[in-house]
Structure formats: C-alpha cells, structure tokens
Amino acid sequence: AASYDVRAIQDKWRAVWDELRPFDADGTDVGRERRYALTMFPYPSGDLHMGHGEVFALHDVLARYWRLKGYDVLNPIGWDSFGLPAENAAIKRNENPATFTYDNIETQAESIRRYGVSFDWTRRLHTSDPEYYRWTQWLFLRMFERGLAYRKASYVNWCPNDQTVLANEQVVQGMCERCGAVVTKRELTQWYFKITDYAQRLLDDMEQLEGRWPERVLTMQRNWIGRSEGAFVDFAVEGRESPVRVFTTRPDTLFGVTFFVVAPDSRIAAELVTDEQRGAFDAYLERTKQATEIERQSTERPKTGVFLGVHATNPATGEQVPIYAADYVLADYGTGAVMAVPGQDQRDWDFAKAHDLPIIRTVEPSEGFDGDAFTGAGPAINSANEEVSLDGLEIEAAKSAIIDWLEQRGTGERTINFRLRDWLLSRQRYWGCPIPIVHCPSCGEVAVPDDQLPVELPYLTGADLAPKGTSPLAAATDWVETTCPQCGADARRDTDTMDTFVDSSWYYLRYCSPGTTDAPFSPEDVKHWMPVDMYVGGVEHAILHLLYSRFFTKALHDMGLVDFTEPFTALMNQGQVINQGKAMSKSLGNGIDLGEQIEAFGVDAVRLTLVFAGPPEDDIDWADVSPAGASKFLQRAWRVSHEVASEPGTDATAGDVALRRTTHKTVAECEHLYDSKRFNVVVARVMELVNATRKTIDSGAGAADPAVREAAEVTAILLSTVAPYVAEEMWAELGHGPSVSQQAWPTVDPSLLVDDTVTCVVQVKGKVRGKLEVSPSISDKELEALALAEPNVARHLEGAEIRKVIVRAPKLVNVVI
Ligand code: ANZ
Ligand code: ZN
C-alpha cells in the first residue's frame, strides 16, 4: 500500500502498549538515573479540549525523549476532582457530584489513552477518592499540630454568586476567579494556613529556580509575596493607654506627618471612634464593604473618609494630628494604620486637599518640580527637633537616623513587611475535602484521631447542595453530630471543606507511591523520584498552585517528611491555543474541538501540528497551522520505512555517506534541541531528514542502501516522541519488534559530524600504505592513532620497531621503522 490507515494503527498500537506497558516507571533499578515528568493534572469538567491536547503533546515529547535516553521515567496522571463545577452540575441535575465527576474522568481517561500520552496508568489518582483525601486530612492535621493551620475571624472575600469565601489569590481584579462576580467582604471565622511564616523562605529559595522557571513566573511570585523593608512607628493617641502602630516604608518622612489614617474595617477604627462620630463612621464602614480591594487601591478614586474624633501625636514634632478612617487604607496590610505624609505620598496629598489638611514637604523637590507629592530622591528638609536632625540627609541615611532615634526612645523599630497574607482554606461548599476537626464545647477544636480518617463526606444530592451561605454539610445533622474524641461529650464536626488547592498541593508526592496505605507517601519512594524534573502547565497557575505547593513542600521538609525544599526543579508554561488571533470562545464561534480534529487527521497529525507550531511557550493560532500538511508529512515518512527492503542489522557504513552525515547530524542536533525544549525545531529537522532520505532513494541508490535504513530507523525513533502511533508502525515495517519507545537513543558517529574531510596520506618508510578521510581540525595525536590503526598500515608495521612517527595533521603521517 502507498499509505497507512490512521485509525487502524491507532487501535493496533494502543492494544500493544496496554499489553506491553512500556511506560510504567520502574523505580527499582538503582543503577539507572531517574527523571520525573509532570503535567498539571486535569480538572474533570468535560472532555479534553485543545489546551489539554497541547500541554499533553509537549509534555510527552520530553517524557518520551528521556525514556529513549535511558532514564527511568516517572510520568503519572490523575485528576483534580473536587470543586465547584461538579457541585453546580449536581444541583442542576439533582445528583451527587461524584456522578458528574467520575463520568467525566472516564471520558477524559479514554481520550488521553487514545491521544497516546505515555502515562504510567498504574499511578492514577483522584483527589476526591477517600483513599486520597484521607491523606489530605492527615496532612492538614500535621499542619494543625504545628500551628500552621489555625482559625481566626476576619473580613474575608465573599463571592455572592458561588456563596463561598475566596482566598486572596482567587480574587482577580476584584472579581471571583471562577464566576466573575464582584467580590464583597464578610466577617467570618475561617481556617487559614500560615503561609506567611514562610514568606522569606519562599523568596530566598527562588534562587534555586532562577533560569529554570520562566522569569515572569518568578517575578509574579516575588510581587505577590511583596517584601517591603521599613519601620513600625508608635503614635500616642489621646485618651488611650497603648499607642497605635503604623507600618511605613518611609520613616524618613516622619516630620511631614500631618494626619493619621486607619482602615474603616479594621478593629482599631471601631476602637478609636468617639460616640459623636460613630454614626458617620458606621455609614462609611457600610460603604467601604461594598468596594473591592482594587477600587480601594485605585489612585484615580476621590479620597473619601471620616474623622474619628480623636488625635494622635506625631512623635517627631509633638504635633497633634487628626485621625481619619479612609478606605484607601486596607485592614489586612501592615497594621491597618498609616501615618499620612501628603508632601511625599500622592494618595495622602489627594486626601489632604479633599479634607483641607496641612502639607509639609520633608524632601527637597528637584529643580523645576511643580507636581503634587514629591516621591523622588533628595535631601531631607524641615526635619529636625532637639534630639535629632535629618536635614540634608539623603533618603536612606535619613531612614537609618530616624529609626535609630525611634528605637532609642522605644517608639518604633526596623521591620520587614510582606504583602502575602495567610492562605484562607475554608470553603462553604460540599464537594471538597472535609476539615477533620470536631468542635467540642469544653475542649474547643479537637483533631479527629488519625485512625479515624478519612472523615468521609455524607452522601448529599441536588437541592441539599444549593448554596445558602453556610456549608451544606451543616444541614447533614447525622453527619455533623458526633462526640468529642477527647472528652466524649456531644460535639459537632467542622462543616467547611478545604479549598481544592490543598488537594493539589501534594499530589505530585502521592504519585511516587500511590498504593501506600499507612502514610500519604513512602519516604523512600519520594526520595527516589522527587523533585520533579520538568513541570508543564499553564501560566494561570503562576501564583496560586505553584506558591501553595512550594509552601507545602517547605512545611513537609520542616516536619522531616521530605528532604528537599523545592518541589519543581524546572517549569515550562505552554502557550494558548487560539483561533484567528483570538481566544476560542462560544460567543465568537471560533472554537476548535480536539476530538473533531483527531477524527479528521488522526492523533499523530494533531500532536505533530501542536508541537511543530512554534516554541512551546508561544501561543498557537489554529488558523495558521496545517494538520493536513502534518498528516501528509507523516505518510511520507512512513513510506520511506515501508520501502526499505533489506534485512535489519545491515552494516550502515557501506551506505551513502552524504545521507549518513545528515542522519548523524540530525541525531546530535536533536539531542541538544530536546534538552533546550525547542521541540518545534526537532520536528523541522526530522522533516529535513525524511526529505534527504527520499532524495537518496530516488537518486538511484534505492531503498536497499543501508544508509537509507539507518535514516529510516532514526526517523522512527525521533518521531516516536511526537507521533507515537506512526513511529511504531514504521519501526515494525523496518522489521523490529515493539516497541520503538523502548529503543535506545541512536549512537552518533562523531566522524560523520564533520562537514568537509581531508584525505590524509599515511606512509610507512616513505611508501604510501593507506589513506584516511579525516576532519581538517583533527589533532596530531588523534591522527597518529587513526593512522597506526589503519588495517593496511598495521600490516606493514607488523613485527617492526617504530622508531619515529612524523605527523603533519591533517594531511600526512609518516612512520619510520
Ligand atoms: C508613610 C509614607 C510616606 C509612605 C511616603 C509611603 C510614602 P508598600 O511599599 O506596598 O509596602 N501603607 C501602609 N499600610 C497600609 C495599608 N494597610 N493600606 C494602605 N497603605 C498602607 O507600601 C507601604 C506604604 O504604604 C507605607 O509607607 C504606608 O505609607 C502605606 F512618602 O508611610 B507609607
Ligand atoms: Zn471535648
């Protein structure tokens, strides 16, 4: 036949792989180096889409390449299977979320198998399985024991649509990351992970990731952690015993403080407000709660606020300055209170103008400056009292001097502040991991004993799951009512479930030993496989999932459970698949369905198209690529193997040298290309190799030339990383047994990598006894060795004593005997 049947070979080789299991990790062979290839596990919301197609194709190139290179490769797959979409679907369909979830998992699993991704299916996991979430609960309890999981009351982000709280990380531009509703605030008592304890280490350890993670992801994490160096300054407040503390990054501007601002929704505001001002304050607080954090921080917004009726004392000047509540100050940053310096801070300037407050400049503006607040550098002015003078000092020196003075007086200190907040993990929804805590009237928060884990979800369906603002679990009376594990009294289970980001913060550890029944993972297996060598996934996880996983790893490290501090050594963010220059969407009608593409062109052609489209991190515009072209190329490649007639094992050295050069150069270059993740160029090189092979066949040498066989074998091996089905078929056409994925990486003959060769004459006693084709840059030493090993030369040297070897690389070797 002149072509192969795409569907038939997909069915054929899938069955062979199921039988042969060439992709299961070994993990026992200590002699072999290991590699861990990880792809962000899918959420089971429907069938696979184009984005999955891309990420799996790219990820699999590397996993398969590593296997060819002889590594023992761990390449697992599982599902992030708790979460809201399943719950919302269950409410609509009057079902339990498990139905939707596990149906979709089966659909996706089938599609992934058909897609030929070289996953080790024996390690499959689902975070919604009790065997999995038992250990999520176990890990929560280890955090709880160490004070890393705790409960506190505070104003939290509330999504009015999903009727649940959100972590700061899940609020995008003031809106719910999931549904887009405008997020409001509510005061609730919630569970938190103390990720702030790790802020500095999360920053410091990024050094290990430099150059191995995309720079923009590191930058996003750095900004999110948001380290600021500055000072706490204590302000005495009239009628109050204890002072009120502010955090400032500009203590040098202290002499310019003309008023004082607290966040309306902070505890301190409610404490400070006088009875006369309470009415106005309460009304303002209500308005504040309607505003999103983004709005509050916007520089464009008019600066509103209310006077609280009290004054604070500027510690440097002794002046009494009025205290306001204003929404541009946030409750959960720094101390929730700010010393306002309108001369140097634009928001304070705007507020001062709006409320007719004095402005004092404490930094000399540069020549010609005629703006509002001066935020630039310059010498301090108007900044002296009897004890300390900053006048004339530049900002850094002035900061140091004023902090020294404050520290001496005991009214301030140097400090470092982080923007990072603790991770709010409670969710008032059903389809998540139950929090394994019992609330006892006398003992308080009591951990469910390890041997009673998992705390399984009660079976609820339909309307029982509908959002009511409290967790649906609270209504499951039989489940909620329990006894205290400590004292035996009547007690209630915690009715919140965990943020699903908790589930995904440790799944990569579970993959190392998914069958372990007495621990979340086996320490030996984790030691063997971790850390992950390449993690592939979308940049949308730059902060949330990646930061949380880094935090978990560090916490587990401190518990002595793992011996490394960073989970993912390298990270690759694939681009997006778009169509006609725009993100695919229902409303634009430009969606491309992965399943339909596969039906039309076959798995291999779709995968090759995605890999060939460009560098992995670039977006792929489906309007610019050609799956039809890809499938034509694959047929061409296959035809070469199909035509190769000679027996396997033929000596390639007798073949066409030009083709052999191309083949060996391709292998050598591709090795480099795979290592530097330029998979699209690998495909280009394989295409060139196929063209060169075809040329050799057609130029008369024919398919019987052993160089053609060699080229075809290399083509099959390289193609197996991108188009696995046709690669197997080619390998079989070439007379080899399955599977091409179990082949070793082709050996490169270095002498074939040089372009031009020079003929070197080898003389023995002045007579020409041999000729060598060598590289023009060959060294004297190498050339001498080659010359003496040349068979005819060796024969003439037999029994003789070599007196001298004269080497004139690269042209002449003369052996004197
Ligand atoms: C006085 C001052 C003068 C400030 C000046 C800045 C410039 P970063 O760099 O983000 O850490 N601030 C402190 N707590 C705040 C809160 N809860 N809500 C809003 N603003 C707050 O910002 C630190 C600066 O932001 C602090 O330094 C404080 O204003 C303000 F010329 O203090 B600064
Ligand atoms: Zn008790």
Residue-level pLDDT at 162: 85
CB of 249 shorter than 6 A to ligand 1: yes
- Cα separation, 748 vs 513, in Å, equals 37
Residue-level pLDDT at 293: 74
- What is the enclosing helix (H) or strand (E) of 758? strand 758-764
Q: Is 578 helix (H, G, I), strand (E, B) or coil?
A: strand
Instruction: Tell me the ligand closest to 445's alpha carbon.
Output: 2
- pLDDT: which is higher, 471 or 16: 16
Residue with tokens 């995968």: 607
Residue to substitute in 154, 244, 246, 249 for testing ligand 1 pocket (most ligand atoms within 8 angstroms of CB): 249
pLDDT digits (tens, 9 = 90+) for 507-561: 999 999 999 999 999 999 999 999 999 999 999 888 899 999 999 999 999 999 9
Residue-level pLDDT at 542: 87
Distance 350 CA to ligand 1 centre (A): 15
pLDDT digits (tens, 9 = 90+) for 33-68: 999 999 999 999 999 999 999 999 999 999 999 999
Q: Is the pLDDT of residue 1 over 70?
A: no
- Cα separation, 544 vs 196, in Å, equals 14
Q: What is the dihedral of CA 51, 52, 57, 63, to 10 degrees?
A: 130
Q: Is the pLDDT of residue 337 over 80?
A: yes
pLDDT digits (tens, 9 = 90+) for 391-415: 999 999 999 999 999 999 999 999 9
Q: Is the pLDDT of residue 651 over 90?
A: no
Residue to substitute in 155, 345, 372, 406 for testing ligand 1 pocket (most ligand atoms within 8 angstroms of CB): 345
Q: Is the pLDDT of residue 184 over 90?
A: no
Supply the residue whose CA is at minimum distance from atom 8 of ligand 1: 228
Question: Rounded to whole angstroms, what are the CA distances from 457 to 9, 98, 476, 773?
Answer: 44, 11, 10, 75
Residue to substitute in 248, 329, 383, 421 for testing ligand 1 pocket (most ligand atoms within 8 angstroms of CB): 248
Distance 439 CA to ligand 2 centre (A): 8
Nearest of 370, 296, 281 to residue 330 by alpha carbon: 296
Q: Is the pLDDT of residue 768 over 80?
A: yes
What number does the ligand 1 atom closest to the CA of 228 have?
11
Supply the residue whose CA is at minimum distance from atom 26 of ligand 1: 248
pLDDT band for position 646 (cuts 50, 70, 90): low
pLDDT digits (tens, 9 = 90+) for 248-295: 999 999 999 999 999 999 999 999 999 999 999 999 999 998 887 778
Nearest of 603, 658, 634 to residue 716 by alpha carbon: 634
DSSP character string of 733-790: HTTPPS-GGGSPPPPP-GGGG-SS-EEEEEEETTEEEEEEEE-TT--HHHHHHHHHHS
Nearest of 258, 249, 260, 259 to residue 395 by alpha carbon: 249
Beta bridge partners of 806: 814
Q: Is the pLDDT of residue 632 over 90?
A: yes
The rounded mean pLDDT for the chain is 94
Distance 248 CA to ligand 1 centre (A): 5
Supply the residue whose CA is at minimum distance from atom 22 of ligand 1: 249
CB of 258 shorter than 6 A to ligand 1: no
CB of 362 shorter than 6 A to ligand 1: no
Q: Is the pLDDT of residue 163 over 90?
A: no
